[in-house]
Amino acid sequence: MRVFLKLQVFFALFTSSLSVLNPVVLVPGDGGCQLEAKINKTNVVHYICEKSTTDYFNIWLNLELLVPLVIDCWIDNIKLIYDNQTRTTRNNDGVDIRVPGWGETETVEWLDPSHASTGSYFTDVAATLVKLGHVKNQTIKGAPYDFRKAPNENKDYFVRLKSLIEQTYEENNKTSVILLAHSMGGPMSLVFLNLQSQSWKDKYIRSLITLSAVWGGSLKAVKVYAIGDNLGSYVLRESVLRAEQISSPSLAWLMPSKLFWKPNEVLVQTDKKNYTINDLQEFFMGIGFPEGWEMRKDTEPYQLNFKPPGVEVHCLYGTGVQTVERLFYKPGTFLDGYPTLIYGDGDGTVNRRSLEGCLHWRTLQKQKVFVKELPKIDHLQILHDKSTQNYITSLIKKYARLRQPMRKIS
Ligand SMILES: *[C@@H]1O[C@H](CO)[C@@H](O)[C@H](O)[C@H]1NC(C)=O
Ligand SMILES: *[C@@H]1O[C@H](CO)[C@@H](O)[C@H](O)[C@H]1NC(C)=O
Ligand SMILES: *[C@@H]1O[C@H](CO)[C@@H](O)[C@H](O)[C@H]1NC(C)=O
Ligand SMILES: *[C@@H]1O[C@H](CO)[C@@H](O)[C@H](O)[C@H]1NC(C)=O
Ligand SMILES: *[C@@H]1O[C@H](CO)[C@@H](O)[C@H](O)[C@H]1NC(C)=O
């Protein structure tokens, strides 16, 4: 009998704790959600490229499209075209691209609808939340966006994100929402929060959790402009992918920030000239990509607005992983050569100083800023690492306890 009663009490506590979970909205980083394309082109770059498709298909990140030759079709379909008069980008002629899965978790959990393990993104984080009693699409929502674009071209996203948060709050018995962001999702969330009033934030936001957020840009962006990036794959050629990568204004937004790099620090070294944070215009001219400089001018204001978010922050990031810090061109070579990469501390993608950016808010806002450094955890690994899952688990349990101060869960 006593055992039975104890069990009843246990279940009562358990079920009541379910109703007090703060819902979670997931904000992905650069490349962290699916994109779908529909094609109706008059010209293609190669005879093997399809001129038209009857419906939308997954274009990011579909590994079948990233093989030699087919990759040329892929780049021509996914790259953006910049207009320096309107200062906006558009899809290539005959291409329509959309972001599927608004409010759902599927397209931020898996980049590849076939669930290939290489495309696993917020999967482990979602699984951790489900274990705690969360329900996908109800108490966990995804907020994907066109990550090729920077905040200046994602103004509509911030409006929709606000509605999604308000709607999620209402659906969950007026319970404030946790924003959980990775990488570029961090500064996206910061832009969003800085657009809201303090009273709105106090009502709707429980806290902001960031994983490997890029607070002050990264030298990696300079490297991508110079030589491209193979996305960590040995099969893909960085020089091929570069054509697609540099067409994204979000890359210009992720260039090193003047708030984090001093004017005497050399980012790119050649025997003719050293390039610092103040020489980026010349750098873009030197690599033959003047549009990059235009995009930098469009996006830099968003980087320089580093006002604290005005909500409780949990800032997690990896360190102690070799991260490119400077490009060194051997004497006799110039920006069209191939540089030696000089490494420093960071998470393999983002420099340490940028990851630590959230520390600056500690004295600038009254809401707490918690910081957790995860040694040897790289930029993507943080999404899957046990320490991240443990941190999220204890935080969510703590919030549930705080909402029910009278009942102790033993
Ligand atoms: C909603 O919150 C109220 C007040 O805190 C509580 O009495 C009620 O049981 C909650 N309902 C659900 C479905 O969680
Ligand atoms: C494809 O584009 C052509 C014009 O370039 C247009 O006439 C045609 O209706 C389009 N087809 C579809 C299916 O949208
Ligand atoms: C703007 O674009 C046009 C056409 O591509 C080009 O000729 C011009 O030099 C560009 N202007 C700037 C400031 O980059
Ligand atoms: C979430 O919504 C999507 C789209 O409606 C659906 O495919 C998926 O199965 C849903 N997931 C859950 C757990 O209900
Ligand atoms: C570039 O910087 C390096 C190291 O700081 C210095 O040794 C070199 O003289 C500089 N070169 C030029 C051209 O200023």
In the chain, % of residues over pLDDT 90 = 82
Q: Name the more confident of 19 and 266.
A: 266
The predicted pLDDT at position 393 comes to 97
- Cα dihedral 284, 285, 290, 296, rounded to 10, equals 30
pLDDT band at 13 (very low <50, low <70, confident <90, very high): very low
pLDDT in tens, 372-383: 999 999 999 999
The ligand with the least distance to the CA atom of 298 is 3
The ligand with the least distance to the CA atom of 140 is 4
pLDDT in tens, 335-345: 888 999 999 99
pLDDT band at 220 (very low <50, low <70, confident <90, very high): very high
Give me 232's structure tokens: 């960590």
22-33+122-403: what fold? Rossmann fold (3.40.50)
Distance 351 CA to ligand 5 centre (A): 22
User: Does 312 contact ligand 3 (Cβ within 6 A)?
Assistant: no
pTM above 0.85, yes or no: yes
Residues labelled catalytic: 183, 347, 379
Is residue 172 within 8 Å of residue 20, measured between CB atoms? no
Distance 51 CA to ligand 2 centre (A): 11
pLDDT in tens, 91-149: 999 999 999 999 999 999 999 888 887 889 999 999 999 999 999 999 999 999 999 99
pLDDT in tens, 32-59: 999 999 999 999 998 989 999 999 999 9
User: Is the pLDDT assigned to residue 230 strictly greater than 70?
Assistant: yes
CA angle 198, 200, 205 (to 5 degrees): 95
Domain boundaries, the chain: 22-33+122-403
